[in-house]
Amino acid sequence: MEKEKLAIYGGPINVFYGKKQVLHDISLEIEKNKITAIIGQSGCGKSTLLKSLNRIIEEENGTINGDLRLFGKNLLEMDEEKLRKTIGMVFQEPIVFPFSIEKNMTYGLNYHFSLSKKARKEKVRHYLTMSGLYDEVKGDLSMHATNLSGGQKQRLAISRALSVEPEILLLDEPCSALDMKNTLLIEDLLVQLKEQYTIVIVTHNLAQAKRISDHIIFMDGGRIIESADKEKFFAAPENPLSLKYIQYMEKS
Interface residues toward other proteins, by CB under 8 A: 54, 56, 59, 61, 80-86, 88-89, 91, 93, 95, 97-100, 103, 107-108, 111-112, 140, 142-144, 146-147, 157, 160-161, 164
Name which of 50 and 68 has its Cβ closer to other proteins: 50
Strand pairing class (20-31; 35-40): unpaired
Please check whether residue 198 is in contact with residue 31, taking contact to mean a CB–CB distance below 8 angstroms: yes
Q: How far is the CB of 237 from other proteins (least distance, A)?
A: 32
Name which of 160 and 230 has its Cβ closer to other proteins: 160
Measured CA to CA in angstroms, residue 155 lies from 103, 144, 161, 168, 177 at distances of: 15, 15, 10, 16, 13
Q: How far is the CB of 65 from other proteins (least distance, A)?
A: 18
Q: How far is the CB of 243 from other proteins (least distance, A)?
A: 35
The identity of residue 23, as a single letter, is L
Q: How far is the CB of 104 from other proteins (least distance, A)?
A: 10
Q: How far is the CB of 48 from other proteins (least distance, A)?
A: 15
Name which of 107 and 234 has its Cβ closer to other proteins: 107
Q: What share of the chain is helix, strand, coil (3-state, %, to 5)?
A: 45, 30, 30
Name which of 17 and 234 has its Cβ closer to other proteins: 17
Q: How far is the CB of 25 from other proteins (least distance, A)?
A: 26
Name which of 111 and 248 has its Cβ closer to other proteins: 111
Q: How far is the CB of 98 from other proteins (least distance, A)?
A: 2
* Element at 156 (helix H, strand E): helix 150-163
Name which of 16 and 107 has its Cβ closer to other proteins: 107
Q: Which long-range contacts (CB under 8 A, 24 or more apart) does 149-155 make?
A: 149/182, 150/94, 150/177, 150/178, 150/179, 150/182, 151/178, 151/179, 151/181, 151/182, 151/185, 151/186, 153/94, 153/96, 154/90, 154/94, 154/178, 154/182, 154/186, 155/131, 155/185, 155/186, 155/189
Please check whether residue 46 is in contact with residue 22, taking contact to mean a CB–CB distance below 8 angstroms: no
**219 by DSSP, 3-state: which?**
strand
Name which of 178 and 224 has its Cβ closer to other proteins: 178
Name the β-bridge partners of 87: 168
